[in-house]
Structure 1
């Protein structure tokens, strides 16, 4: 639209100029001694316009030529900026994808080649985050130091460096170092939500309950924390504050309790700590009111158990409240156990047994069995008490099942044959009795030999054992190990009382006694040692 406007304007001017020049004919004379130049007015106007255009073009061309170095510098700057942006974009993309190695490589390259200080700080911080993801904490610290060097006193960049460093230190578990980094920011007036969240993480890790309570309150008020997370932090920190103040032995816990808001006093841990504090101060009615307010909102076993621990004069009121809760939750095991405890405190034995039996039928709980054992012990039902105490033990831990003895029973060797008669038959009578009370000589033992490194150790040990031990008594070998022919050739044969053959020896002998004795002498001669023969 703009181009069309200027084109139309120039056309109108040209037409108007042509009309004027046509209606006003005249000459223009230039007297330049010794020359006289005469031109028509139309030609003069055209020459002026052409000269103006030529001069304008010449000046523009000259300006363009003189601006070449600046344009080249700007062009190089744009190219470097595009290259830096490409590296930064690629590095951040890889960092978000979790490819920390390649991301650190590209970002470190950007740190070395860029000339812009802010871009160097950004590259160093990004590379430090990638190194932290790789677990290279020493290299991460060097990159953070490089980022601080290139910050050049820029407050915004220094806060960014401190925030990144604190976040990574918290991930590493160094809460004290992270708090040291964040403290200057807090003193300098930094109230960014991310900085406050990091401060909350550091204070919570260091168990600074006062600071955690204040920070969690502030962040929840600014909707920077979810309600569930904020209430959990406030509950834990507030209960710790209240218990610490109550443990000091002074009345400082009352001021801490007054500092809580109404919706904070019904949180489980704060309500439990407050009830314990009032109970210790001798105000059980106030402790009961606190628990009665908190239990309908947070029906937790710890609150119910604390409500059941009371003196006998508090039992009727608390028992009525607990039974009202039981009507809404008839299958709540913890509530049934607490009712049993209340009945035990009030010596209502039948009701206590009823509630505890209902509870133990729903859940095999060691505490419930122990309460039943105490109840039955109080009622002189010792067998039931012992049974429930045993069940409490088995419910607490898994007792091992003792395996049966897998070894075979010892064999009865009283009727086993142990003697061999002359004919190779085993005798039926038992071996001679050896008294058990006879002293047994214990031989000295030596260290076990290494049969692998010392092959001769086995033979040496065998010889030493044979030298120390007495000769073992003769034991009849097994029947299968006896060569009957060898036995008859070597064993002495007793001389019979008469020459008549014996019926129990099997086949009768055909020879006489003299023949038998001569055969015996021949056998004895055949068994003489070889060195006496010949």
Structure 2
């Protein structure tokens, strides 16, 4: 607005100056062109010259505008096509994000077929491939990805984008090796492509490459490109896999690369203890487990700590009893103490710990240990009872059968028919003879009676054990306990 006023003032000033100049000069202008002769006043000649200049100027601009019309029309068409492409691309991505994959694929495929821009062609192809991937149409997805790859041409940036998106979709199908072949060229020393590095980590995890998972997780953690909790999980899992295959030469380097906090996690501590036991270092294995158990009384760690020979059992009992002071009602710790007592042949104290653990929690492990204890003491009846209870506890975790299974057809077994009572011959010839000598009938055969299974005579009663209750408990000293303070024999009346 201000510029218009300024130009208006300039033009008015020029007009006033021109009028004053012309008023003072009253000459004539004669133009002779045989056979014509034109005579004009000077002011009129000046005005006509200015008008001619302006008309010529605008005429030249009109000719120039008409000459540039094809270029201008092409530019207008390009802007219109770009606007339409952007609208299709935006609508397609919104449909993908909202889950309308069919409509998204339709819009993006239309854009892929009509656009002339390499960037938009690649973007449309990758977006349409993503929609088809989520629809489960993998054949059409691969065809769309090939079109996007062709649209990328020799542009390295677009080709990397196509390879990254393709690898991510392959990983969703657990085709890790194919994804790895696409991602390996993108991994360089600078690790600029953090998303490609994350996909590379995912591919190595699917393939079980523990060394690469460990290294890539460390790299992403240093660059703050991965969640710390997830990185800790990946590091511990891969470290445990590496420890399971470590040898004597590589132990120090592998164990020393782990932080103190990582060494105390249950999965790493278990793997380290297994490795040290395999390498013939039970004392080092015990120290690894003790350090982890001092932090947390994990069930798996306790069971691994209780698995040792008699020489190690007495030493480990002392450490375990220290944990018992602060955790007197820990069922897993009591079971581990009982197992250690069994390894050290401290039968009485082992039974004490196992019974306390059984009172807190009845499971397969404790019943099995009590069965082993009674079997070692020559009490088969009690051992069998606990083993049966262990089987019942295991059976409780299995799916229950809601209807009885059909009877087994044993009519073709001559050895079985020899032991079947004569009453079984009264059954219908179409009815199969059950393995238990009884037939579960259908509703249509309710008139038939099942043949009862012959009851075997009871076994002869076993003679009662001559061992007394005092003989049941051994007299071996308990580690860490002063028996002079607990025995009644040393006390004076």
Superimposed CA distance per residue, residues 16-65 of structure 1 (whole angstroms, 9 cap, x where no aligned partner): 65156427611354343364645345x55544443443333333333333
Question: Counterpart of 2:366?
Answer: 368
Distance in 2, Cα, partners of 1:363 & 1:280 = 32
* CA contact 2:214–2:235 (8 Å) conserved in 1: yes
Alpha-carbon spacing, 1:84–1:36, altered in 2? closer, same or farther (3 Å): closer
In the other structure, the counterpart of 1:62 is 63
Distance between the aligned counterparts of 1:242 and 1:106, measured in 2? 52
Partner of 1:26: 25
Q: Which residue of 1 aligns with 2:212?
A: 211
| TM-score, normalised via structure 1 length | 0.68
Decide whether aligned partners of structure 1 residues 292 and 21 sit closer, same or farther in structure 2, where only a CA change above 3 A counts.
Answer: same
CA offsets 1:226-284 (integer angstroms, 9 cap, x no match)? 222212211121111121124xxx53334332333333322322222222222344433
| 8 Å CA contact 1:267, 1:294 repeated in 2 | yes
Q: Measure the CA separation in 2 of the matches of 1:358 and 1:110.
A: 73
Partner Cα separation in structure 1 for residue 293 and residue 51 of structure 2: 99
For the Cα contact (< 8 Å) 2:186–2:193, is it kept in 1? no
Cα distance between partner residues in 2 of 1:66 and 1:174? 59
Q: Give ranges in structure 1 of 5+ residues lacking alignment.
A: 405-441, 448-534
* Structure 1 pair 357–121 and aligned structure 2 pair: CA distance change class (3 A): same
Q: Secondary structure at the match of 2:225?
A: coil
Q: 1:199: which partner in 2?
A: 200
Q: CA deviation at 1:155?
A: 0.5
Deviation (angstroms), 1:79: 1.7
User: Which structure is larger by alpha-carbon Rg, 1 or 2?
Assistant: 1
- Mapped to 2, the partners of 1:380 and 1:171 lie a distance apart of 58
Query: Does structure 2 conserve the Cα–Cα contact (< 8 Å) formed by 1:235 and 1:268?
Result: no
Residue 290 (structure 1) aligns with:
288
TM-score w.r.t. structure 2 length?
A: 0.73
The answer to which of 218-227 and 373-382 deviates more is 373-382
Gaps of 5+ in 2: 405-424, 431-493
For the structure 1 residues 372 and 71, does the alpha-carbon distance in structure 2 shift closer, same or farther, using more than 3 Å as the test? same
CA distance in 2, matches of 1:337, 1:193: 48
**C-alpha distance in structure 1 between counterparts of 2:220 and 2:293, whole Å:** 27
Deviates more, 1:325-334 or 1:204-213: 325-334
Match of 1:153 in 2: 154
Which structure 2 residues correspond to residues 30-429 of structure 1 after superposition, within 5 A?
Answer: 30-33=29-32, 35=37, 37-41=39-43, 43=44, 45-186=46-187, 191-246=192-247, 250-398=248-396
How far apart, in 2, do the equivalents of 1:14 and 1:47 lie? 18
What is the alpha-carbon distance in structure 2 between the residues aligned to residue 282 and residue 294 of structure 1?
A: 20
Shift of the 259–25 alpha-carbon distance from structure 1 to 2, 3 Å rule, reads same
Supply the distance in 1 between the matched residues of 2:375 and 2:140 (Cα, whole angstroms): 68
SS of corresponding position for 2:29: strand
Give the distance between the partners of 2:189 and 2:316, measured in 1 at CA: 53
| Distance (whole Å) between structure 1 residues aligned to residue 140 and residue 190 of structure 2 | 31
How has the CA–CA distance of structure 1 residues 328 and 307 changed in structure 2, closer, same or farther, with 3 Å as cutoff?
same
Q: What secondary structure, in the 3-state scheme, does the structure 1 residue paired with 2:245 have?
A: helix
Task: Provide closer, same or farther for how the CA distance between residues 217 and 188 of structure 1 changes in structure 2, counting only shifts above 3 A.
Answer: closer
> How many Å apart are 1:221 and its aligned residue?
1.7
Contact 2:29 2:42 in 1 (8 A): no
Query: With CA pairs under 8 Å and 6+ residues apart, which has the higher RCO, 1 or 2?
Result: 2
Distance 1:108 1:13, change over 3 A: closer
Between 1:193-202 and 1:298-307, the stretch displaced more is 298-307
- Tell me the number of residue pairs that the alignment of Structure 1 and Structure 2 aligns: 401
User: Following the alignment from structure 2 to structure 1, what is the Cα–Cα distance between the partners of residues 132 and 124?
Assistant: 12
Contact 2:187 2:193 in 1 (8 A): no
Contact 2:374–2:382 (CA under 8 A) maintained in structure 1: yes
